[in-house]
Amino acid sequence: MAEIQNPNQGGGSGGGLGGDSKSLFGFMIVFVLMVVAFQVFGPKKTQQPAPAQQKTQTATNGAAAPPAATTSAGSPAAPTEVTGPGKAAAPATTAIQASSESETVVENELYRITFTSRGAAVKSWVLKKYKDDSQKQPLDLVNADAAAKFGLPLSLWAYDAGLKNRLNTVLYVPSATGSITAPGTLSFDYSYGGLTVHKTFHFDSSYVIDADVSVTQNGVPVAAMLAWPSGLGDQTTLQQYAGAYFAYSENGKADETAAKKVVGGDTLRGSYDYAGVSDLYFAAIFMPATPADTNLVTLHESLGLPKNPAHPDPNAVDQVSILGTALGANGGDLQTRLFVGPKLLGLLETVQAANGENLEHVVSFGWWGWIAKPMLLVLRFFVVHGIPNWGWAILVLTLILNVAMLPTRFMMMKSSLKMQRIQPQIEAIKAKYAKYKTTDPRRQDMNKEMFDLQKKEGVNMFGGCLPMLLQYPLLFGFYRMLMYAIELRQAHWLWLPDLSAPDVLHVLPIFVIVSMFLSQFFTPSPGMDQSQQRMMAFMMPAVFGVMMWNIGSGVALYWAGSNLLGVAQQLAMNRTSMGREMRAIAAKRAAKRAGKTVKAINARH
């Protein structure tokens, strides 16, 4: 029986201690190579800050740095950070922050922008050529109530709430205070505890400014975005808040998202040529220098709007949407241009993004842009060339459109008359098949006879509908144009101080109701049941009158003018041979219905 040996003991050739030592030596070499390879090719460990630095960052995270560290140009540098034994010394950094808050005003002929050094953001963005709703003061596009809760324009947005708060509450050192006349440049700097921020803004004679932003932490770029977070300052009513939307262009395709569909805090990655917030008449639009490296964050908050602004009641408020946008760059440093101003079509066509696309589509004409835009250009032509009032220009364009659509009225009237002429034959065919149920196959024969009769007499059953369908694009295009034309904002006409606002005296809505009733009354409808006639004569004017009660008076003016012209046209057509024949048919049918009613009453007696 072979002797069992301990493998750790010597003995035998090739075995024993000599062979085991070689194996152990081989394992040691492999282990050392693995350690070296891991150090060379493995993941790098992020260097932790020194204890003194950690303490400073903890103290300053989410709050302004202590005043003792504040310096500016020419001030003594902050002390060099102390490093532990065996650690490389970090480079000395100079703390840059202001000791007190200051303001800088930048202005040209179009705007007056007031910056605050706290957060290096905008407190006021006044457009000199536009008034607020009270028409007493120049319009400030900073929504004061929303900005107090959600942040000032050109503040910085970050995913980390503490970092965001710190970036927007510390005191930056501005390159200038007091007043600056554009063209010019204004920059803000802040540095403390490893956090370094630099903002530079360039101004010219237009509504567009240039912005460069850099944020680093210990030399590493931080994902901080330039933001317009709190809507626009002209938003004071429910209608103005409801008209807000997110406007953007991705890969050359312009589009928009309604407020109710905007997701707050949603990050959008793509090649955005421009993006920003817009309402009915004004917009704040970012145009990044490198769209392909851009990140967007959509901001959506809610604000309580008093139902009675004159006597605010915290228990009587309407919740409205506050839209905002934040723009950042993948590489860290952001370069962008920003348009803040009125949505004048001619002006927006001159403002181009990096890809050459202009901001024309920020004006939201929607599906009816192919009609609305030409109409706006025609209205502007009237105002520039001889009709220096937008109300009268609307009425002149209304007259032109109604005259242009007059042939369709004749087509509808002619088609309706042909249908009335064969109505007795149609009723005879219906009586012939009245004994059959609707599911009976012989009902198909009735339809065929009616179709053959209409074809023989040259009657097109859609002849009365097609002309009306031609009018609808003009109607909706005109409505859309008047809703978004900033030219109507605070435009006066007779007793109306603002064609973009409802008629406070309600003269136009009442006129719409009366004129629609007269139009229905004077339009012969021999083929319509009397109950239907009454419904059309009273219900339709009431519905449209209610619609016009709270709508912009420019739209109501167009509708009232159209109705007045429609009544005049109908009275004129009633005097033609077709009109007289239709009235005769209507009278004959009314008498026939009355006769049947009388006979029915006598039979009961």
User: Can you give the CATH number for the domain in which 121 is found?
Assistant: 2.70.98.90
| Residue 169 counted as domain residue | yes
Q: Are 410 and 441 in contact (CB under 8 A)?
A: no
Task: Split the chain (605 residues) into runs of 10 and give each run's mean pLDDT.
Answer: 38 39 43 44 38 35 39 38 37 79 96 97 96 86 94 95 95 94 96 95 96 94 93 89 92 91 91 94 95 92 87 86 93 91 94 92 84 89 90 92 81 76 81 80 82 78 64 79 87 90 87 82 61 66 78 86 85 78 72 55 37
**How many structural domains is the chain composed of?**
2
User: 141 and 272, same structural domain?
Assistant: yes
- At 25, give phi and psi (nearest 5°): -65, -40
Strand partners, 156: 226
What range does the domain containing 510 cover? 373-422+457-594
User: 206 and 120, same structural domain?
Assistant: yes
Q: CA 603, CA 605: separation in Å to the nearest integer?
A: 5
Provide the residue type at 7 as one letter. P
User: 219 and 288, same structural domain?
Assistant: yes
Q: What is the DSSP secondary structure assignment for residue 259, as one 8-state letter? A: G
Q: CA 585, CA 13: separation in Å to the nearest integer?
A: 131
Q: How many CA atoms lie within 13 A of 479 on its CB side?
A: 15
User: 166 and 254, same structural domain?
Assistant: yes
Sheet of strand 266-269, all strands in order from the earlier edge strand to the far edge: 155-158, 224-228, 317-329, 294-306, 266-269
Q: What is the pLDDT of residue 201?
A: 97
- Given CA atoms 474, 478, 481, 487 in this order, what sign does their dihedral have? positive
Q: Which long-range contacts (CB under 8 A, 24 or more apart) does 426-429 make?
A: 426/450, 426/453, 429/453
Q: What is the pLDDT of residue 157?
A: 95
Q: What is the pLDDT of residue 578?
A: 74
Q: What is the pLDDT of residue 464?
A: 59
| Residue 430 counted as domain residue | no
**Cα–Cα distances in angstroms (integers) from residue 41 to residues 27, 28, 45, 250, in the given order:** 21, 20, 12, 40
Closest CA to 577 of 372, 397, 413, 396: 413
| Residue 547 counted as domain residue | yes
User: 410 and 338, same structural domain?
Assistant: no
User: 242 and 389, same structural domain?
Assistant: no
User: 405 and 266, same structural domain?
Assistant: no
